[in-house]
Structure 1
Amino acid sequence: MKILRKTYSFIAIAGLFLTFTACEDYLDINENPNNPTTAPLSGLMVNSTFETAQNTFRIGNTTSNYVQYLASPNQGSASDVMDELSFNTTWSSLYNVMTDLNDMILEANETGASHYEGAGQILMALNLAMTVDAFGDAPFSESFNFETITPAYDDDAALYNRVFELLENGIANLSQETDLPIGSDDYIYNGDADQWIKFGNMLKARYANHLSKTDQYNPTEILAAIDAGFESNEDNAEVEYFEEEFNPWANVAINNENLILGGWISEQFVEATDGTTFGVEDPRLPYMIGTTDDGEYIGVPNGEGRGSAAESGERSTLVPGDFYTSEQSPVLIATYAEQKFIEAEAAFEIDKTRSYNAYLEGIRAHMRMLGVEQSEIDAYVNSSAVSVGEDNFTIDHIFKEKWVAMFLHPEAWVDARRHDYDYENFDLPANLNPDLNGQFIRRLRYPDSEIGRNGSNVPDVTLLDRIFWDE
């Protein structure tokens, strides 16, 4: 369901609310009784839906280098070679949204606004899971009260149990009748409770599928959640942008045109889709990235940069106006295409026919979303590289096609780690961070801001220490 465009003034009003609510509660040790300390549900909903999309972008903007969608034009760039970086803004943005969501859940519970409470719980589950998937252990149980300014870190596996609890409770609350329904303050579904329920079930399937390396993996439960989840691209969870606030990927593309370099495409992604690696040209390519002035797709090898001025030539980048980079394009939070690939993976060992059909439908769904012509969809799907038949169908086919369909999304990094980066011709970047000992990165470093104020609780981990579902 596509939501109506909102005005920027509404966000500006919500921003005023955030001066009171959107900071870590464990820092708010003084209260002014003459100023409001809680925001109306409507303002909290505006900010939480909008900023959840922004958080999806913020994490994806980093991890897209790790999964080789993007590459730096400069040799040995820190993100490109998986250096140890501090993610202060990403961390604070995640916690700002979770603080607002905590306030929204509590206020909605007190006022009987069950749909706001349910949507808040689903968004809390999503932002918490994004935090765990990026960093591992994280503060949560002590983070949203005034009892401590140095909250303890909760175990990452225990936090995932909390994610599933939040999703279950959110779905239950959204299934109730309410006298206080959500309205146009919802940037994702415009107040449609049925869509939120589908979204909650889709996320149940996503996060249960993350457990594929653990003894908790339950394909039957995943497939049951999928049956109650998205039914088409119309159910996609996304935030559409508007004239006063561009899609952040559009800003990356616009900035690149203005020589603030970013959004350069990895050679790995180009060769995986232009026919070099798999022998079939992917018709999605023109909808996703730009060509050189000569109409060619040429990527940058991760870690190597463009080379010297004499040999660099042009390279493909994100360009304004494509599906992901138009000014009013949506940021995709969760899609029907993603769900079909989750279904394909979950069904692979127990129902090969269902798995194979879901794999093919995931490709079609992503192509339809981009606007690819039906004849091109049919030609690609029917090619021998894609329609391999059930007998030749492997889990690698699912992960490869899902990798293309999750372009620029942080879920792609979860998949890469679960798949041990085992993609065709997927090489370590040149000039790799030597601390990684010739291995791919497995988590983000905790931010300097957190180490500075809560250092005694911050876990002592390296970039090679794995999140619990990756062990």
Structure 2
Amino acid sequence: MKNIFKLIPVLLIVILTSCSKNLDINIDPKQPVTTAPNLRLPAILGNMAYHLYSHARFSSYHSFYITSRYNTSKVEALWNYNDVTRLGAWRWHYFDVGSNCLGMIERAEVDGTYNYRGVGKIMLAFSYLTATDSFGDMPYKEAYKGIYYPKYDTQEVVYAEIAKLLNDGIADLNKSNASDPTMNGTADLIYQGDLNKWKAFAEAVKARLLLHTANFQNGYDAVLSAVNTSLSGFSDAVFKYPTTPTKDWERNMWGASIARPEWNFAEIVNMLNNSVSTDLFMSYMTVGEPGLKFDPRLFKLTTPGVKNTYYGAKASEGLVVPNWPVPIPPADPVPPVMDDFANLYNGHWTADNSPFPYILKEELYFIKAEAAFYKADHATAFDAYKEGIKLNMQRLGVAESEITAYLASSKIKQDAASLEISDIMVQKYIALYLQAETWVDLRRYGYNAKAYPGIYYPAKASSEWAGKWIQRLPYDNQTEYIYNPQEMARLGATARNWVFTPVWWADKSTLKN
């Protein structure tokens, strides 16, 4: 087995492997060809934040959080990916995260240690789940085997393998003992070596995975079991950037500096400077009661426009505000320009030094609320729904008095009997602001207004799509379509409307009916 190493900033290590037992002139016998797990883990964790961002960069538009100021933008407004030449989200999984996870697992197996091996399997599972939820079918069984044209496994198979990785990772952590190498805060940038927290995180990933298929696999009991196990020891999984970043790779990719590090892909550079909140998002953030005009989280996620206004634009239509002029003081007969909309930078998640979430505790409560709701346990669903809202508001720094006022407002159901699925899903939508997981939820529900009141088909989405909703990201043009054309043809991924073909769990979902 030969290993080619490439070191780039913030330990962004890329390991390419192929099967060969012959002498390799690229290997210096005097230099090591493996990397110690404690040096590799920070790269995995940092790369995972970029991997998550590379999906959210696109899904945030498809989830109606934001829309481009340009109604001609091909991806954001027209939903046309046919001219995209690179899609870094594919590479972030297979090279930047996946290959490093496998390298760490292999080294830990050779060393006979379990802590790094277990964490490696859990992170590999999380990365695969993130990737397959955007792309669908993908190589698993033939990945990393030195096969030039790996077969794409069905998403159902990939899901089964992810579940196995999670269980195996937890089993490895349970075997860890004092003889294992130290895993401290220098190596483990998420949990500082606390293996119980890693096990709880694995259960959280499992709960997320199980929720995606529970509606058609009768799986809500399994979801509740996983989420309750996770909540018993869960701590937020968040990657933290330096307080005062000075280099591109030290900055959150959502930040106002718009980091363009040399190792990144141009198409995933954030466009928040040319984007605004949608009217759908603003409808969810508007309370409209005396003393409570907006959800107080709005002021933590964004900053007001120059006229201290908070408009929402029609998705895909540029700076078009519905029903203009709107009766929001100060009433202005002049249609708004870009500066009149909220600034999307320097919010809780969109500053250069903002943390980047893997999975947050409030998501687990909303998972619990949804699963309990479909089990007709409305009391449990109601309690979890309220707890998820409260946790999210506290995270964003909303004052307790404002939290109390919001929870007592007409925006929030006051008893279990009146709770509807839209209450749960809209609050989860707000809590997961800009996260790619929201796009999973929208597709599970078929963009259904029963779950997301007020949702509408974007006017500028190309007529070529015949009113179909966008369902997936295309595979990377510079690798898959060039080097594995047989699989692209077999899947039908060469079709212009490929991104409108539902992934497995969306196709099977009963929630869209």
Question: Is the TM-score greater than 0.5?
Answer: yes
Match of 1:349 among 374, 394, 397: 374
Name the SS for the 2:238 alignment partner.
strand
Partner residue in 2 for 1:12: 9
Partner residue in 2 for 1:362: 388
Name the SS for the 1:326 alignment partner.
coil
Partner residue in 1 for 2:219: 218
Q: Distance in 2 between matches of 1:13 and 1:272?
A: 38
Q: Evaluate the alpha carbon distance shift between residue 418 and residue 357 of structure 1 in structure 2; reply closer, same or farther with a 3 A threshold.
A: same
Match of 1:465 among 473, 495, 501: 501
User: When the two structures are aligned, how many residues end up with a matched partner?
Assistant: 451
Q: Evaluate the alpha carbon distance shift between residue 13 and residue 409 of structure 1 in structure 2; reply closer, same or farther with a 3 A threshold.
A: closer
Please report how far the alpha carbon of residue 440 of structure 1 lies from its aligned counterpart in structure 2 after TM superposition. 1.4
Partner residue in 2 for 1:185: 187
Partner residue in 1 for 2:296: 283
Q: Evaluate the alpha carbon distance shift between residue 297 and residue 467 of structure 1 in structure 2; reply closer, same or farther with a 3 A threshold.
A: same
Partner residue in 1 for 2:481: 451
Name the SS for the 2:356 alignment partner.
strand
Q: Distance in 2 between matches of 1:168 and 1:136?
A: 22
Q: Counterparts in 2 of 1:267-346, with a 5 A limit?
A: 267-275=279-287, 281-306=294-319, 311-313=335-337, 314-346=339-371
Q: Distance in 2 between matches of 1:321 and 1:152?
A: 43
Please report how far the alpha carbon of residue 190 of structure 1 lies from its aligned counterpart in structure 2 after TM superposition. 1.7
Q: Distance in 2 between matches of 1:293 and 1:240?
A: 31
Q: Distance in 2 between matches of 1:228 and 1:356?
A: 19
1:69–1:408: 8 Å Cα contact kept in structure 2? yes
Q: Counterparts in 2 of 1:64-143, with a 5 A limit?
A: 64-81=60-77, 82-85=79-82, 86=84, 87-96=86-95, 97-143=97-143
Q: Distance in 1 between matches of 2:18 and 2:44?
A: 16
2:155–2:504: 8 Å Cα contact kept in structure 1? yes
Give the counterpart letter for 1:124 in structure 2: L
Give the counterpart letter for 1:48 in structure 2: I
Q: Distance in 1 between matches of 2:226 and 2:424?
A: 19
Q: Distance in 2 between matches of 1:54 and 1:24?
A: 22
Partner residue in 1 for 2:164: 165
Please report how far the alpha carbon of residue 262 of structure 1 lies from its aligned counterpart in structure 2 after TM superposition. 3.8
Partner residue in 1 for 2:329: none
1:226-260: CA deviations, max 9, x gaps? 1221358x8110100012411211146799xx998
Q: Evaluate the alpha carbon distance shift between residue 194 and residue 11 of structure 1 in structure 2; reply closer, same or farther with a 3 A threshold.
A: farther
Give the counterpart letter for 1:62 in structure 2: F
1:206-232: CA deviations, max 9, x gaps? 110011332x24111111111221358
Q: Distance in 2 between matches of 1:394 and 1:13?
A: 45
Deviates more, 1:161-170 or 1:420-429: 420-429
Query: Which structure has the higher relative contact order (CA within 8 Å, separation 6+)?
Result: 1
Deviates more, 1:50-59 or 1:175-184: 175-184
Partner residue in 2 for 1:60: 56
Please report how far the alpha carbon of residue 418 of structure 1 lies from its aligned counterpart in structure 2 after TM superposition. 0.9
Unaligned runs of 5+ in 1: 1-9
Q: Distance in 1 between matches of 2:345 and 2:33?
A: 41
Alignment TM-score, normalising by the size of structure 2: 0.82
1:341–1:362: 8 Å Cα contact kept in structure 2? yes
Q: Evaluate the alpha carbon distance shift between residue 332 and residue 101 of structure 1 in structure 2; reply closer, same or farther with a 3 A threshold.
A: same
Partner residue in 2 for 1:229: 230
Q: Distance in 2 between matches of 1:113 and 1:280?
A: 56
Match of 2:460 among 407, 423, 431: 431
Q: Distance in 2 between matches of 1:259 and 1:77?
A: 11
Name the SS for the 1:456 alignment partner.
helix
Q: Counterparts in 2 of 1:43-54, with a 5 A limit?
A: 43-54=39-50
Q: Distance in 2 between matches of 1:353 and 1:198?
A: 24
Give the counterpart letter for 2:27 in structure 1: P
Match of 2:442 among 416, 422, 431: 416
Please report how far the alpha carbon of residue 42 of structure 1 lies from its aligned counterpart in structure 2 after TM superposition. 1.9
Give the counterpart letter for 2:500 in structure 1: L
Q: Distance in 2 between matches of 1:123 and 1:265?
A: 32
1:11–1:46: 8 Å Cα contact kept in structure 2? no
Name the SS for the 2:128 alignment partner.
helix
Give the counterpart letter for 1:54 in structure 2: Y
Match of 1:246 among 243, 248, 251: 251
Q: Distance in 1 between matches of 2:118 and 2:343?
A: 36
1:70–1:265: 8 Å Cα contact kept in structure 2? yes
Partner residue in 2 for 1:7: none
Q: Distance in 1 between matches of 2:316 and 2:241?
A: 33
2:305–2:343: 8 Å Cα contact kept in structure 1? no
Larger Rg: 2
Name the SS for the 1:140 alignment partner.
coil
Please report how far the alpha carbon of residue 84 of structure 1 lies from its aligned counterpart in structure 2 after TM superposition. 2.1
Please report how far the alpha carbon of residue 72 of structure 1 lies from its aligned counterpart in structure 2 after TM superposition. 0.3
Alignment TM-score, normalising by the size of structure 1: 0.89
How big is the alpha-carbon RMSD for the aligned residues of Structure 1 and Structure 2? 2.7
1:252-276: CA deviations, max 9, x gaps? 6799xx9983443222212220237
Please report how far the alpha carbon of residue 113 of structure 1 lies from its aligned counterpart in structure 2 after TM superposition. 2.2
% identical aligned pairs: 26
Q: Distance in 2 between matches of 1:404 and 1:230?
A: 21
Q: Evaluate the alpha carbon distance shift between residue 31 and residue 320 of structure 1 in structure 2; reply closer, same or farther with a 3 A threshold.
A: farther
Name the SS for the 1:333 alignment partner.
strand
Q: Evaluate the alpha carbon distance shift between residue 311 and residue 253 of structure 1 in structure 2; reply closer, same or farther with a 3 A threshold.
A: farther
Name the SS for the 2:469 alignment partner.
coil
Q: Evaluate the alpha carbon distance shift between residue 217 and residue 26 of structure 1 in structure 2; reply closer, same or farther with a 3 A threshold.
A: farther
Please report how far the alpha carbon of residue 163 of structure 1 lies from its aligned counterpart in structure 2 after TM superposition. 0.8
Please report how far the alpha carbon of residue 60 of structure 1 lies from its aligned counterpart in structure 2 after TM superposition. 0.6
Q: Evaluate the alpha carbon distance shift between residue 426 and residue 12 of structure 1 in structure 2; reply closer, same or farther with a 3 A threshold.
A: same
Q: Evaluate the alpha carbon distance shift between residue 354 and residue 445 of structure 1 in structure 2; reply closer, same or farther with a 3 A threshold.
A: same
